Structure 1
Amino acid sequence: MTDLNTPEIADTVRWLERAVIGLNLCPFAKAPHVKGQIHYVLSEAKGLEGLRDELIEQLQALAALPAEERETVLLIVPQMLQDFLEFNDFLDEADAVLQELDMEGVFQVASFHPQFQFADTEPDDITNFTNRSPYPTLHLLREESIDRAVEAFPEAEMIYETNMETMDKLGAEGWKKLDVGPHD
């Protein structure tokens, strides 16, 4: 279901605009956002099998459209996978779906989660917030688009380090002021 007026999608767009684009955490996000090429999907799945089916449906829909029309998909999962470790486990299933559909190397699934935590960090480490979204979210990306973006951005490997520095400077209070969490 794609209803841009849902609170969950509005929260996700606000997070994208204020954090991802606003802090330049992903220098590749602004263009598809401005061009309206990001497709937002609110998961209605009640279980893992349903979410898997939605993932398949969205990957197939993305494959059926040119990038100029739909560059990427954010599959927002507000009703499930609130536990980060369970969400992380589902990413193995997402990779298996790419294999089953013979879409490895064509698409990849990136992840964002409200409790995202890099290995060897404490839960409240500000650097974890580079991948924190209002809701568990699967980001479906075209490999071809990633390759083009990396070519255009010669120091793409530096994005991670730059993001860590950005978050360190921003701090927990600065993140809180962005107001990018879920709203009631």
Structure 2
Amino acid sequence: MKIKEVEQNTKIWFEQWILKLNLCPFAHHVHAKKQIRFEIETTKNIHKATEKVIAELNFLENSKKEDLDYIDTTLLVFPNLFNKSNLQGFKDFTKFYLELTMYLEKNNLDVVFQLVMFHPNLVYGGESENAPALFTNRSPYPTLHILREESVTKAGLNHPDVISIPDKNIEKLETLYENHPKAFNWLKSFKK
């Protein structure tokens, strides 16, 4: 798979799904300021993937707000890893995510960063595999979103009702599915 194709598909997903549907109301600000980094890691090796995440955490930690090319957040995409068919790829990615979360805690980085995972085969809570609610965290490829805790806190303080965002997203996607079920086809096409 070509890096440019993966990056393009990820940006289309981000702009047409996350931004256009306003699934993350905080994303517009950093996107407009070009403070989102899209990194594609093509390794098929779990240890190299872990090294890449740690390198990205270091990169973000060294990116200062006063820098002209300041990066606030990274979408780290793994197109060649965690993509096994059915649920196994998602289970492997979940395990990877949990290990990274423990790494953050062990190194006191959980007060600096938080991770959010996206996956084409994401399932949870006994939902049907095509339940619209799952598409809040479905992406074309296994993706880790590395966020700065400070930015998340600041954005939350400036939002009138952070707690309702997940429920509103589910409602929004269920309505979209009822009225335009084909809108989900492009994203479904990445499901293994």
Normalising by structure 2, report the TM-score. 0.87
8 Å Cα contact 1:37/1:67 also seen in 2 = no
Q: How many residues align?
A: 177
Using a 3 Å threshold, how does the CA distance of structure 1 residues 25 and 33 change in structure 2: closer, same or farther?
same
Offset of 1:163 from its aligned partner?
A: 0.4
2:167 to 136, 152, 161: 161
Aligned to 2:30: 32
For 1:38 and 1:67, locate their aligned partners in 2 and report how far apart those are by CA, in whole Å. 13
Q: Quote the offset at 1:17 in angstroms.
A: 0.5
Corresponding residue number in structure 2 for 1:98: 104
Amino acid at match of 1:80: L
Query: Is the aligned partner of 1:42 residue 2:43?
Result: no
Who is 1:58 aligned against? Answer: 56
| Structure 1: stretches of 5+ with no match in the other structure | none
Cα distance in 2, alignment partners of residues 173 and 46 from structure 1: 32
- Give distance in 1, aligned partners of 2:58 and 2:175: 40
Per the normalisation by structure 1, the TM-score is: 0.90
Q: What do you get for the CA RMSD once the two structures are aligned?
A: 1.7
Counterpart of 1:84 in structure 2: which amino acid?
F
Q: Which residue of 2 aligns with 1:148?
A: 154
Is 1:109–1:141's contact at 8 Å kept on the other side of the alignment?
A: yes
Runs of 5+ unmatched residues, structure 2: 84-88
Pairwise CA distance, 1:66: 2.0
Label 1:67 to 1:116 Cα distance change in 2 as closer, same or farther (>3 A). Answer: farther
Distance 1:67 1:142, change over 3 A: farther
Deviations 1:48-95 (A, max 9, x none): 111110000000000000246101001000000111111111111111
Separation in structure 2 between the aligned mates of residue 23 and residue 166 of structure 1, nearest angstrom: 8
Over 3 Å counting, the alpha-carbon distance change for 1:116 and 1:10 in structure 2 is same
